[in-house]
Amino acid sequence: MKIIIKHEIPGRIRFSMPEKRYSFRQADILEYYLLSIPGVNKVTVYERSADAVVCYNGDREELLKRILKFSFEDEQITALAPEQTGRELMATYKEKLIMKVVYRYGIRYFMPMPIRMIRVLFNAARFIIKGLKCLIVDRKLEVSVLDATAIGVSLLRGDFRTASSVMFLLRIGDLLEEWTHKKSIQDLAQSMSLQADKVWLKRDDSEILVPISQVQEGDRISVRVGNVIPLDGKVVEGISMVNQASLTGEGIPVKKDEGSYVYAGTVIEEGDLVIEVKKASGDTRYERIIKMIEESEQLKSGVESRAEHLADGLVPYSFMGTLLTLLLTRNVTKAVSILMVDFSCALKLSMPLAVLSAMRECQNHHITVKGGKFLEAVSDADTLVFDKTGTLTKAIPTVVDVIPFGGRDKTEMLRIAACLEEHYPHSIANAVVKEAENRNLIHEEMHKEVEYVVAHGIASTIDNEKVVIGSWHFIFEDEKCKIPDDEMDKLDSIPTNYSRLFMAIGGELAAVICLVDPLRDEAADVISRLHEVGFKNIVMMTGDSKHIARTVASLVGVDSFHAEVLPEDKAKFVQDARRSGHKVVMIGDGINDSPALSEADAGIAISEGAQLAREIADITISEDNLYQLVTLKQISDNLMKRINFNYRFVIGFNLGLIGLGLASVLAPATSALLHNGSTIALGLHSMTNVLPNKESEK
């Protein structure tokens, strides 16, 4: 492929390709390909001119070689770009905004006055009809009535220019609000979209892990507890409780058994299913998420709802002020100047924009927030509860030893453990599977149906013997397994700083898998920073032993810890703290954290953790950066500061306009212009980032 370098300075190249213009999809593919090149820092692709600007560090010649390898026909390259990126939406609304401005001033300077007057009357009819409907049919005195009155009075006074300006500014405000709202929804929907790469495909009596792209309509797939159902289909085996909150917004699990239809993106909370695929692409998932978000009341924070109610509540006072001024001064101009100024427009425009923009800003920091009210909850929270494994510690525990019992072979024990654990993705399970891979152990399916017991372990059957793998409590207390004779000392000699995974075969301890789960490098500093930004009580809860919990707690600096807890214990702790008047944020990554995530004022899941936890959580952060918690808190706090500033500005500025109007300093048209201009300015300000660059965390 050939390219033309149009401009170049050290570290920056602008080039074009033979195409005269890119489609939105082509522009996305090129952008994501260029970003995948090592050393590339920033990419801007212009679809109209088919140009691309690349900022880079490193070898220029190597960069050009990689660019020349680009092709729109390469499937591996096209797969780099998500199906939905927001480029088309942004371009559409930018064009709408520009066209509205150009159209308005074109009409002002080139259309004859009589025709302009007719046009103003025609456009005003829509606003007046809307206001009358609200007043007469709905019997409400809201902002639309005030808008209609302001436009109508201006027309009655023959002030067509003011009426036109008011309508123009109202339309611009509506466009900006719609634009930001849709962009925020699209960002959220994209981040919430299904990201299942592989599925367990049923073939005869075995299961094969295959890429989801290989699954065809009519194939049968196996989905187990805690996992997202990757494709639409009909249940052919099994009974389970499925959480459909991602589609319906309703968090109560629904029973699914043979013959039931299940949808991509829903999560199995209990039981396992075999599903016959009906829609191999799962292509309606994205649209369903958008619809769910648009309909969900979760998008509205408490302050946003209060602003909306306050905005409508202020409308009668604007009318009262107008009438009172008319009665006292007998001056129509002064009375109309008050009518031209209302508090509600700015409040109703700026508050949703501020909240949705903050949600969008979180997305820019790889933090997904499912509703504005959760940002408010994070800002108000004083208690932060951490799960240990996969949050404060790295999500990649490492197997350091396999200790066999009963004369069994160490390698065979690891093979069996990996065979079972690969069915239930979890940080510890992944560590076992990875260790088997590192030792080049092939662990083909050798067991019958696998049963997962939440927060305890896994049970199955191999060669007619029951095999269980999990915690001490599960193996020795629930399953009543025995320790081989004369091997208690061997068990006691295992170092206490290791996490232990127990496996028993035929009711007898067969192996202990020793793991270390190293702390995240940033954990201690993050806890310190979280204290600084306002969390007064930071708690760590874990199912691990007290010895391990105490060691981790002292290293990271949490205020308190609870060890050897079950999922219900975590949820009860959160419940009790909330009953005591605390605002609680819970952070976890596993299936066993899901009850506590549901109970918290805001539940935060690690994006690479269990799918059930991610679906239930209100917020997700990426696995590799706990500093995002500090960023989330800063964005939430700054959002609340912005909202309070918006309140003060709207009240103060508009009272000032009213005062100047009463003093005959400002004419009604000027008051309307300043009021609507300030509303748009405040809306645009609300669309900017709340977090200064210097506050941005690592």
Q: 224-234 pLDDT, tens per residue?
A: 887 888 888 89
| 464 and 551 in a common domain | no
Q: Residue 193: its pLDDT value, please?
A: 53
Q: CB within 8 A of 22, min separation 6: which ones? A: 30, 45, 47, 50
Question: Per-residue pLDDT tens for 358-368?
Answer: 887 887 788 88
Q: Judging by DSSP bridges, how do beta strands 560-562 and 457-462 pair with one another?
A: unpaired
Whether the per-residue pLDDT at 281 is higher than 60: the answer is: no
Does residue 223 contact residue 239 with C-beta atoms inside 8 Å? no
Angle at the Cα of 371 (from 369 to 377), degrees rounded to 5? 85
Nearest CA to 207 out of 419, 439, 464, 491 is that of 419
Same domain for 602 and 659?
Answer: no
Dist CA 354 CA 687 (whole Å): 6
Question: What distance in Å separates the CA atoms of residue 502 and residue 328, rounded to the nearest whole number?
Answer: 86
Q: Worst-scoring range by mean pLDDT, 42-51, 64-73, 292-301, 370-379?
A: 292-301
Q: Pick the residue with more confidence: 528 or 94?
A: 528
pLDDT band at 696 (very low <50, low <70, confident <90, very high): very low
The reply to whether 310 and 209 lie within a common domain is no
Residue 664 in domain: yes
**CA dihedral of 77, 79, 85, 87, whole degrees rounded to 10:** 40
182-191, 252-261, 434-443, 662-671: which has the minimum mean pLDDT? 182-191
Both 417 and 496 in one domain: the answer is: yes
pLDDT at 679 over 80: no
Pair 617, 554 in one domain: yes
Interval 582-622: pLDDT, tens: 999 999 887 778 788 888 999 998 876 666 677 778 888 87
Looking at residues 649-655, what average pLDDT do you find? 82
Let me know: does 235 contact 257? Beta carbons within 8 Å: yes
Predicted pLDDT at 309:
62
- 426 within a domain of the structure (yes/no): yes
Q: Which residues contact 639 (CB under 8 A, 6 or more apart)?
A: 354, 355, 358, 375, 376, 379, 690
Q: What pLDDT is recorded for position 87? A: 82
Domain annotation covers residue 492: yes
Q: Which of 183, 210, 194, 202 is nearest to 85 (CA)?
A: 183
Read off the pLDDT of residues 620-642 as tens digits, 9 standing for 90 and up. Answer: 887 667 899 999 999 999 998 99
State the amino acid at position 172 in one-letter form.
Answer: I
3-class DSSP assignment, residue 283: coil
> What's the pLDDT tens digit per position in 164-205?
877 887 787 678 667 766 765 666 566 555 444 678 888 877
Question: Residue 447: is its pLDDT beyond 60?
Answer: no
Residue 392 near residue 520, CB atoms below 8 Å: yes
The model's confidence at residue 296, banded by pLDDT at 50, 70 and 90, is very low
CA distance 464 to 241: 29
**Pair (428, 525) in one structural domain:** no
Q: Quick one: 428 and 507 in the same domain?
A: yes
Token pair in block for residue 18: 């033979």
Specify the pLDDT at position 612.
Answer: 67
Q: How many CB atoms lie within 10 A of CB 61?
A: 8
Choose between 221 and 353: higher pLDDT. 221
Query: Distance between CA 34 and CA 70 in Å, rounded?
Result: 9
**pLDDT at position 510, please?**
96
| Domain assignment present for 293 | no
- Its sign, for the CA torsion 153, 156, 157, 162, is positive
Calculate mean pLDDT across residues 367-376: 84
Q: What is the pTM of this model?
A: 0.62
Nearest to 453 by CA among 480, 476, 433, 471: 471
pLDDT of residue 283: 46
In a domain, 361, yes or no: no
- 259 and 335 fall within a common domain: no
Out of 119-123, 310-314, 510-514, 650-654, least confident range = 310-314
- Please indicate, yes or no, whether residues 550 and 618 belong to a single structural domain of this protein: yes
| Domain end residue (candidates: 624, 657, 677) | 624
Q: Is residue 325 part of a domain?
A: yes
Q: Rounded to an integer, what distance in angstroms lies between the CA atom of residue 506 and that of residue 408?
A: 13
Query: Domain containing 69 — which CATH number?
Result: 3.30.70.100
What mean pLDDT do residues 406-422 have? 91
The yes-or-no verdict on residue 472 having pLDDT over 90 is: no
- CB neighbours of residue 24 within 10 Å: 17
pLDDT of residue 584: 95
Average model confidence (pLDDT) for the chain? 81
Q: Per this entry, what is the length of the chain? A: 698
What does the pLDDT read at residue 530? 95
**Where does a domain end: 516, 543, 566?**
516
Q: What local confidence, expressed as pLDDT, does residue 543 receive?
A: 79
Q: Which domain holds residue 216?
A: 198-281
Examine the domain organization and report whether 497 and 598 are in the same domain.
no
Same domain assignment for residues 63 and 43: yes
Which run of H or of E encompasses 418? helix 410-421
In the predicted model, is pLDDT for residue 262 greater than 60? Answer: yes
* pLDDT in the model for residue 333: 65
Band the pLDDT of 511: cuts 50, 70, 90. Answer: very high
pLDDT surpasses 70 at 454: no
pLDDT score recorded for residue 610: 65
Q: What is the mean pLDDT of residues 47-75?
A: 89
Q: Rounded to 5 degrees, what angle do the CA atoms 425, 428, 430 make?
A: 50
217 touches 233 (CB < 8 A): no
CB-neighbour burial class of residue 9 (10 A; exposed 0-12, middle 13-18, buried 19+)? exposed
Q: For position 493, which CATH number holds?
A: 3.40.1110.10
Q: Residue 515 and residue 362: Cα distance in Å, rounded?
A: 35
- Contacting residues for 469 by C-beta, under 8 A, at least 6 apart: 417, 420, 421, 457, 458, 475, 501, 502, 503, 504
The better pLDDT of the pair 294, 567 is held by 567
What pLDDT was estimated at residue 298?
A: 47
Q: Are residues 207 and 177 in the same domain?
A: no
pLDDT at 695 over 70: no
264: CATH: 2.70.150.10
Domain end (from 499, 516, 533) = 516
Could you give the CA distance from residue 541 to residue 645 in angstroms, rounded to a whole number? 38
515 against 449, higher pLDDT = 515
Residue 292 lies in a domain: no
Domain count, the chain: 5
Q: Any idea of the CA torsion for 421, 426, 431, 434, to the nearest 10 degrees?
A: 70
Residue 68 domain-assigned (yes or no): yes
Are residues 217 and 279 in contact, defined by beta-carbon separation less than 8 angstroms?
A: yes
> Can you give the C-alpha Rg of the chain in angstroms?
31
Q: Which two tokens stand for residue 145?
A: 């009535």
Q: Average pLDDT in the 271-292 region?
A: 66
